[in-house]
Amino acid sequence: MRTDAERALGRRVRAVCFVALAVAAAACVGVVIGDHVPQLWRLAFSVAAAFAAYAAMIKVRDGGTRKAYAWQTSALVVVLVLLPAPYVVLVFGAARALAGRVLREPVQKLIFNTALAVICAGAASGISTVFHLYRVHLDWGQVFHGHMLVGLLLATLSTALISPILVALPTSAERHRPFTSGLAGLYRIAIIVWFRNFLIALVVIAALDRSIGLTLLVLAALVPLHALSADRATLGRERAAWRRLQRAIDQLRDSDLHALLRVAAPAAAAMLRADAAEITLAEHTGYPVRYATDDAGRADVLPTAATMTATIARTLTTREGDVGALRLFFTRPVSLTETEQATLDAFANALAVALANAVKFATLTREAEERIRAAHTDPVTGLGNLLMLEKEFEMSRRSDQPLAIAVIGLDRFAEVNDILGAHPADLMLRSVAERLAGIVRRCDVVGRLHGAEYVLLLRELSGPEAAVAQAELAVRSLGGTITAEGLDIALDAHTGVACVPEDGTTLAEVVRRARLAMYKARAMDLAVYRYSSDLEPPAMAQVQMLRDLRTALSENQFVLHYQPKFSLRTGLPVAAEALVRWQHPQEGLISPAQFVPLLERCGLIGNLTRYVLDAAIQEGASWYRAGLPLSVAVNLSARNLLDEDLPRFVLDTLARHGLPADRLICEITETAVFSRSLTASTILDALRTAGVGLSLDDFCTGYSSLSLLRERTIDEIKIDRSFVSDLGTGRRSTEIVTALIDLAHRCDIIVTAEGIETKEQQRLLTDLQCDYAQGFLLAKPMPAALARQLFLDSLRVPGGLGPLRWRGGVVAQADWVASLP
C-alpha cells in the first residue's frame, strides 16, 4: 500500500520527466528542421566536455539524499558557442545519461537527473537562440564581446535558478517537508557554484583564443583544482560534523529527563543530517519512554518502514549497563564516513551518561517527593496532616480570598479507644474521614490534627455566615452510627469556626481560636459555634507585657545566648546560633516564645532584629579577631524580609565591627523565603550577593521544600527537630531524613540536624553523613562569655575540643555545659 508521500513523490517525478520529454522532442524537431549541422569534432568535443562535467561531480550527503555539484556551467558556456541550440539539449541529455550509467546510479535517479539536465539545457538553449550565441565561424575572442558575454551569463544563470526548484520537488516530498524548506540553502550553493564555474569557463575560452598549449595547461590545472574542491568539501563536512557534535553535546546538560529527551532527539537528527531520530529508554530504568522527532523538529514523529528505508542504531551504554537506544532514520540507504561514525559514537556515549544521570535524578526526586508527601499525610485516615494544612493555608492566603477554619471534635473517641481498643478507634477515625471528604466542596480541604480532631479549610466563602453554614453541614453529616467489632457506635461531634482575617492571620492562631469555639459548642451542646473574642482569657497580661517590651527595647534589656553547632565528622564547633532572651527586671530571663509573637503582631520585631544583628555581629567579630574559624547565625522572621533597608543595615554593621560577610548566616523559614514577595526576594538576593550565608530553618515544615532548593540559592538546610526526634523509632522519619540529606548533598547544600537529644540520634545522623548537628545533647544555649571560652579552649587542645571530646563517635560534654539554662 503506497503512502501519500510516495504518491506525491511519484507525481512530482513524472511531472519533471514529462517536461523533459517535451523539451527533448522540441530539440529533435529543431535538429530536423535546422539549417546548420555542426561539424563532427564540435559534437565530439561537446559530448566529451559535458560528460566530463557530470562525471567529475562533488557529492554531499544531506539526510538520506546526496546532492551533487557538477561542472555543468563551465561545459555549457563552451557548448553553447560550439553547437546550435537544439543540439545543446540533446548533447547534455545524452552526456548526463552516460555519466549516470558510468557512476552506476539507480535507474529512477538516473532518469530524473537526465530529465533535470535536459530541462536546464533547454532553458539555456532558449536564451542562446535569443542572443545568437552559436558561432558558425568559430572565433573564441567574440565570447568577450558585450552581447555574447551577457547572453552566456543569462543562459547559464537560468540553469542555476531552475535546478534548485527541480531538486526540491522530489526531495521535499520524500522527506515530508514543505517545498520551500531548504530552498534558500540550495539557491545559495547553486549561485556560488555557478559563479565559480562561469569564471573558470571564461578562463578556458581565453586560453582557447590564445593557443592549444595554453588551453591544455589550463585544463591540466583544473585537475588539482577539482581535487582541491573535493577535499575542501570533505573537510568542510567533517568540520561541520564536529561543530554539530559540539552543539549537540552542549544541549545534554538538563537534569530533567523529559527536557533532556526533547533536546537530545532533534540534536541527534541535526548532527548527522538524519531525516528522523528516536530515543527509547530501557524498561529497567523505571522510565520506559520513547521520544521521536523528525529533522524539522516536530516531536513524537514515529518513522515507518514505508518512508524510512535505512536505520542506524546505537545502544546507549554506561558502566552500569544499558540505558536505552538511539536510532537514526534516513529515506535512503546511507554510508557514514569515519568522522561521522566517530561523532555518532561520541554523542551516543555523552547521551548515555546524561540519560543515566537524569534517570537517577528523576528517581531520587520522585522518591524524596513521595516521602515528603507521606510526611504531609495522616497515616490512619489518609487525610492531610498539619504540614499539609499549613501549605494549603499559605497558598490560600496569598490569593487574598476569604477563608475559615472549622475544628471538628468527636466526643466518644477516648471511650472507644479505651474500651474497644485501637482497631475500632481507627475504624471510627477512618469512617469520619470518609464522610467529611464526601460532603465538603471541591474547593475545601479536610485534614486531621491529632486524636479525634479534624480540620476543615473552607474557601470561596461569601462571608462568615457561609463558613458557619458549611461547617454545620459537615458536622451534621456525621450523625448516625458506625459498626466496629459488632457494636454500633454513635457518632457525636461539635465544631468551632474561626475566620480569616477577622479572627487571625496564621494557621496556628486561627486553629487555636476555632478550637476554643469548638469547646464552647461542646459545653453548650451546639453543633457549631463561631469564635468571638470573649472566649479568650483576659488580655491585660499581654497589654502589660507590651508596655514592658517597649521599655526593654529602649533600655536594651535583651541579652544573647549562643548555642554551638558542631561538625558530626570532626566534633569541632563550626558556628553558633544567636538566641535572644529578655532579662526582665522583675520576672528574670524570659524565653523568646513568650514575647516575639507579640512584637511581630505589634510591628516591633524589626527593632529587636536590628539589636540582635548588631550584638551577634559584634560577638562574631571578637571570635574572628581571636582567630576562631566560626560563623554566627541570626534568625530573620517573615516580617524582617519586608524591611527594604535591612541589607544596608547588615552590611554597615559588618563593616563597622570588622566581620567578613561570609562569617554571618541568616536563618529564614520556608514560608518566609517562598512568599513570592518581590521585596523579600530582593532582600535575600542582596544578602546572598554580599556573601552572607542563607540557612533554611525548620526544613520540610513549611510550604514547598523541593521548590525552594530549585528556585533559590540556599547554603544550608536545618532539618526540623520533629523529624530528628523520631530517628531510630520511626521508620518513616528515618527514610525522610535520609532522602533529604542525599538530595541536599546532590545540590551542594550543607545539612544541619536540630534538636539532638540522644546519643542514638547522633550516631544515626553521623552514619547518614549529616554535616552538622545542634541540640541539648551537644551543648545548650549559653551566655556569650561561656561560649567564647568554649571556643577558645577548643584551640588549645590538639585534635579536638577542650570541654567537648569524641568518645566512640559520641560527643561527651562537661557538666558545666550541659547544666546551662
236 or 109, higher pLDDT: 109
367 with 458, same domain: the answer is no
Locate 288 and state its grid cell: 520506559
Percent of all residues in the chain with a pLDDT value above 70, rounded to a whole number: 80
Is 569 inside a domain boundary?
yes
pLDDT at 802 over 50: no
Given 192, 210, 228, the domain boundary residue is 210
Tally the C-alpha atoms within 13 A of residue 731's C-alpha that lie toward its C-beta: 1
518 with 632, same domain: the answer is no
Distance of CA 723 to the CA centre of its chain: 30
Which candidate, 102, 97, 101, places its Cα nearest to that of 114? Answer: 97
CA atoms of 403 and 395, how far apart (whole Å): 11
CATH number at residue 360: 3.30.450.40
| Confidence category of residue 752, pLDDT binned at 50, 70, 90 | very high
pLDDT tens sequence across 667-702: 987 656 655 567 888 898 899 999 999 998 877 664
| Confidence category of residue 175, pLDDT binned at 50, 70, 90 | low
Which candidate, 439, 457, 434, 440, places its Cα nearest to that of 385? Answer: 457
Count of structural domains, the chain: 4
* pLDDT number for residue 506: 87
Cβ atoms of residues 128 and 80 within 8 Å:
yes
* pLDDT number for residue 799: 43
Give the count of beta carbons closer than 10 Å to the beta carbon of residue 175: 25
Buried b or exposed e, range 555-590, using 16+ CB within 10 angstroms: eebbebbbbbbbebeebbbbbbbbbbbbebeeeeeb
362 with 395, same domain: the answer is no
Kindly give, in sequence order, each residue whose CB lies less than 8 Å from that of residue 331, ignoring residues fewer than 6 positions away.
63, 64, 65, 174, 175, 275, 307, 308, 309, 310
89 with 141, same domain: the answer is yes
Kindly give, in sequence order, each residue whose CB lies less than 8 Å from that of residue 770, ignoring residues fewer than 6 positions away.
568, 719, 737, 741, 751, 752, 753
Q: Sign of dihedral through CA atoms 606, 610, 615, 621?
A: positive
Query: Letter for the amino acid at 508?
Result: A
What backbone torsions phi and psi does residue 213 show, to the nearest 5 degrees? -60, -45
Percent of all residues in the chain with a pLDDT value above 90, rounded to a whole number: 18
| Confidence category of residue 1, pLDDT binned at 50, 70, 90 | very low
Is 427 inside a domain boundary?
yes
Q: Strand, helix or coil at 619?
A: helix
* pLDDT number for residue 812: 32
CA atoms of 328 and 19, how far apart (whole Å): 36
For residues 453-462, give the mean pLDDT: 89
Is 80 inside a domain boundary?
yes
pLDDT tens sequence across 529-559: 999 877 876 545 667 788 888 888 888 899 9
pLDDT tens sequence across 490-499: 778 889 999 9
pLDDT tens sequence across 329-377: 877 677 777 777 888 888 888 888 888 888 888 888 887 777 777 777 7
pLDDT at 304 over 50: no
Kindly give, in sequence order, each residue whose CB lies less than 8 Å from that of residue 294, ignoring residues fewer than 6 positions away.
176, 269, 275, 276, 301, 303
337 with 412, same domain: the answer is no
Cβ atoms of residues 386 and 447 within 8 Å:
yes
662 with 703, same domain: the answer is yes
* pLDDT number for residue 663: 95
Q: Backbone dihedral region of 573: left (phi > 0), alpha (psi from -120 to 50 degrees) or beta?
A: beta
Is 238 inside a domain boundary?
no
* pLDDT number for residue 750: 93
| Confidence category of residue 618, pLDDT binned at 50, 70, 90 | very high
Is 235 inside a domain boundary?
no
**Rounded to two decimals, what is the model's pTM?**
0.39
For residues 464-481, give the mean pLDDT: 85
* pLDDT number for residue 309: 57
Is 224 inside a domain boundary?
no
385 to 150, 373, 445, 701: CA distances (angstroms): 87, 10, 11, 11
How do strand 716-719 and strand 750-753 relate by DSSP bridges?
parallel
Angle made by CA atoms 529, 535, 538, in degrees to the nearest 5: 175
Which candidate, 770, 634, 606, places its Cα nearest to that of 693? Answer: 634
519 with 494, same domain: the answer is yes
Which candidate, 406, 400, 402, 477, places its Cα nearest to that of 437? Answer: 477
21 with 163, same domain: the answer is yes
302 with 351, same domain: the answer is yes
161 with 255, same domain: the answer is no
| H/E stretch holding 563 | strand 558-567
pLDDT at 229 over 80: no
Is 540 inside a domain boundary?
no
- Among 36-40, 379-383, 414-418, 614-618, which range has the highest average pLDDT? 614-618
Angle made by CA atoms 70, 72, 75, in degrees to the nearest 5: 130
Distance of CA 234 to the CA centre of its chain: 37
CATH number at residue 201: 1.10.1760.20
Given 374, 405, 428, the domain boundary residue is 374
464 with 612, same domain: the answer is no
Least confident of 22-31, 701-710, 800-809: 800-809
Is 231 inside a domain boundary?
no
Write down the mean pLDDT value for the chain. Answer: 79
Query: Dihedral through CA 233, CA 234, CA 237, CA 242, nearest 10?
Result: -140
CATH number at residue 442: 3.30.70.270
Residue-number span of the structural domain to which 792 is assigned: 558-798+806-818
For residues 89-117, give the mean pLDDT: 85
* pLDDT number for residue 657: 96
114 with 180, same domain: the answer is yes
| Confidence category of residue 220, pLDDT binned at 50, 70, 90 | low
* pLDDT number for residue 817: 33
Given 320, 348, 374, the domain boundary residue is 374
Least confident of 228-242, 343-357, 765-779: 228-242
